[in-house]
Each structure stands twice: as structure tokens, then as C-alpha cells.
Amino acid sequence: MPRRPLVATALLGLLIGLGATSAATMVRASERGLLNGLFETIFGVGAPTPVPVAKPASTPPRRYAALPDAPRSAGHRLVQRTPRFDARPVSAGGQERSPSPAAFAAGTRTVCVRRCDGYVFPLGRLRSRTDLPIHAAACAAACPNATTDLFTLAPGRSELDQAVGLDGRAYRRTASAHLFRRIRVENCACQPPGVAGPLMTLAADRTLRPGDVVGSEEGADLVAGLSPKGPVLVDYRIAALGRQRRDAIEDRVGALRRDAARLAFREVLRAARTEPRRLRVAEAQIMPARIDAAPAGFAPVAARGEGFAPVRVVSPSPFGR
């Protein structure tokens, strides 16, 4: 019988200890997730694995204001992709859109690019989109020994490397941009070394327009019109031009000045050839008058004085006796 009070006392102490342990566990469970922390503390069983929740991926920063921390960069490497400025939308058919006529504003110039080393040089002004084949032919004719591409330069642009290709590609984005400034590419020249390329005939030049001025052997000619056989050329010295435009051509050619100098030289030669003839004619007219005035027969020679006349020394001789 004395064991019953002992067992009752043990059970009471066990309940009191269990209550105290439960109270302390509840406090810690509030920090660990309520009941999950309670089970983990009492029974030593891990809490159920939480179900992962899908979260939207964070957008990588456009640029760093400062370098990232070393531990963070060691675990994850940020890859920043540079946006392509020459990207163009692609149509549903899979073909790139060609530049519209409105893309070529008034004053757009064309430049020619040598593909092998990126050498660029100006061509002319683009009046309309229909002139693109003409400018492309002029680009190929200016550099017949290499492959060329036609680029356009927008109005207000002064640097040739700001040109854009017909496909929308910028010159600075090409693989051969400014390559000619860094290295010398072999077999990359508009003309073969030591050989002059063939000149294009005026009849084959599709860039000519009425009012253009082309050089000639004697000066310059004005394109008065176009015909199936070729351009109709008129010398600018006799063409129907305004004084201002004629003077502008004369400043570059100088044919009128050469004509005036040639005419003045001919006048000098004519005067030089005529002057001796005038002297001979005058002498021929004087000689008969002297002969007619002479007395008939021989006249005695009258001596002016005895001996030699005194010699007046004008300047002493530098040679001594």
C-alpha cells in the first residue's frame, strides 16, 4: 500500500515536468513556426519540407554602380548582354524590311565602302530612291578591282563613318570598319598596282544629268541634254549660261583666261614679224632721195684739217701699256 502514494507522486511530478517542457517548447515554437518547431523539439523529427513557391525571376541590373561583393560574385556570375543597335524587325514572311523612300530625306549623300578593308569615300547626292542603282554602279566603277558596298549619309552628318548601309547596318558595326587605318590588306586596292584602270565612257555614265559639267581636253563641257547615243555636250564658253555660273566654272577650269593669254601672245608675235618689214620699207624710201640729191660726177675731197683730229678720252682703258 505505501507504493501507491509514491507512484501518484511520481506521476504528478511527471505531469508537472511535461507541462513546463510544453510551455517552454511553445515559446520556442512561436519563433520556429509554431507546431513544426514543437514536434522537432520533443520528438526530434524534422519539420515537413515546405512546398516551394514559384517566384518571378528578378531582372538583372542594367549596369553596376559598384563592383559586387566577392562572396556573392563567386557563387553567381552576372552576364550582361549589350543590346544590338542594328537589330531590325522581321516581317511575318521572314524577310527583312527594306528602307522606305521616306527614309532618304532631301540632302542625303551616298558614300562608297571598299569591303576588303573598309576604306570609305564620298560619291554624290541622292535625289530619290530610284537613283540607288545609278549610285551603286558609280561606286563599282570607281573601284573596279575590289568589291564595294553603297552606304548613305543622312543630312547634317559630316563624318563618313556615320553612314548606314541600304540594309540598315551602320558602317561602324561592320567587321571591316576603319580596318585600312590599322593594317594594310594585301590585294585590296581599287586599281592594280602600276596599272591604270579603264575610264568609263560618257555614254555609259548613268549618273550624268542635264546641267552637269564634265572635263574635256580643252576645258570643260556642259551637258545640254541626254540622248540614246549619249549626252549632248556644249563648250561652257559658248553655252547659254548665266554670268555667275560661268564665272564659277571659269574659276576651276580657266579656259577663258588661257584663251585671252594665247590671243595676246599671238598679237606680240604678229607685231614682231611686222616691225622689221616696216623698217626695210622706210630705208628703201630714204635711199632714192639721197641718191637724187648727190651732185653729178666726183667731187674733190676737202680736208678738214691737217693730221688727225684730237681724240677725246671718255673713259680710260683698264688695260695698261
Q: What is the grid cell recorded at 319? A: 688695260
How far apart are alpha carbons 198 and 148 in whole angstroms? 17
Q: Which residue has the higher pLDDT, 31 or 231?
A: 231
Does pLDDT of 289 surpass 60? no
Q: What is the pLDDT of residues 110-123, one digit of tens each?
A: 999 999 999 999 99
pLDDT of residue 196: 66
Residue 313 lies in a domain: no
Residue 52 lies in a domain: no
Q: What is the pLDDT of residues 145-187, one digit of tens each?
A: 899 999 999 998 889 999 999 999 999 999 999 999 999 998 8
Same domain, 195 and 112: yes
Residue 144 lies in a domain: yes
Same domain, 145 and 197: yes
DSSP letters of 65-85? SSPPPHHHHHH----PPPPPT
Q: What angle do CA 86, 92, 94 make, to 5 degrees?
A: 60
Q: What is the pLDDT of residues 272-284, one digit of tens each?
A: 887 666 666 556 5
Number of domains in the chain: 3
Residues composing the chain: 321
pTM attached to this predicted model: 0.39
Q: Which residue has the higher pLDDT, 280 or 97?
A: 280
Confidence of residue 93 (pLDDT cuts 50, 70, 90): very low
Mean pLDDT over each residue of the chain, to the nearest integer: 72
Residue 147 lies in a domain: yes
pLDDT of residue 183: 92
pLDDT of residue 44: 55
Cβ atoms of 165 and 153 within 8 Å: the answer is no
Q: What angle do CA 86, 90, 91 make, to 5 degrees?
A: 150
Q: Measured between alpha carbons, how far is residue 206 from residues 14, 119, 225 in Å?
A: 112, 24, 13
pLDDT of residue 26: 60
Contacts of 256 (CB under 8 A, 6+ apart): 237, 250
The closest of 253, 230, 225 to 240, measured between CA atoms, is: 225
Same domain, 192 and 110: yes
| Helical (H) or strand (E) element with 260 | helix 255-293
Q: In which residue are the cell numbers 520528438 written? A: 43
Q: What is the grid cell recorded at 50? A: 515546405
Q: Measured between alpha carbons, how far is residue 289 from residues 43, 278, 283, 292, 313 in Å?
A: 165, 18, 10, 5, 36
Q: What is the pLDDT of residues 5-51, one digit of tens each?
A: 776 777 777 777 766 666 665 655 555 555 555 555 555 555 556 66
Same domain, 121 and 33: no
Residue 55 lies in a domain: no
Same domain, 169 and 145: yes
Same domain, 129 and 182: yes
pLDDT of residue 2: 56
Residue 226 lies in a domain: yes
Confidence of residue 87 (pLDDT cuts 50, 70, 90): very low
Q: What is the grid cell recorded at 48? A: 515537413
Q: In which residue are the cell numbers 568609263 written? A: 200
Which amino acid would we find at residue 97? R
Same domain, 180 and 235: no
Q: Which domain holds residue 221?
A: 213-253
Residue 75 lies in a domain: no
Residue 67 lies in a domain: no
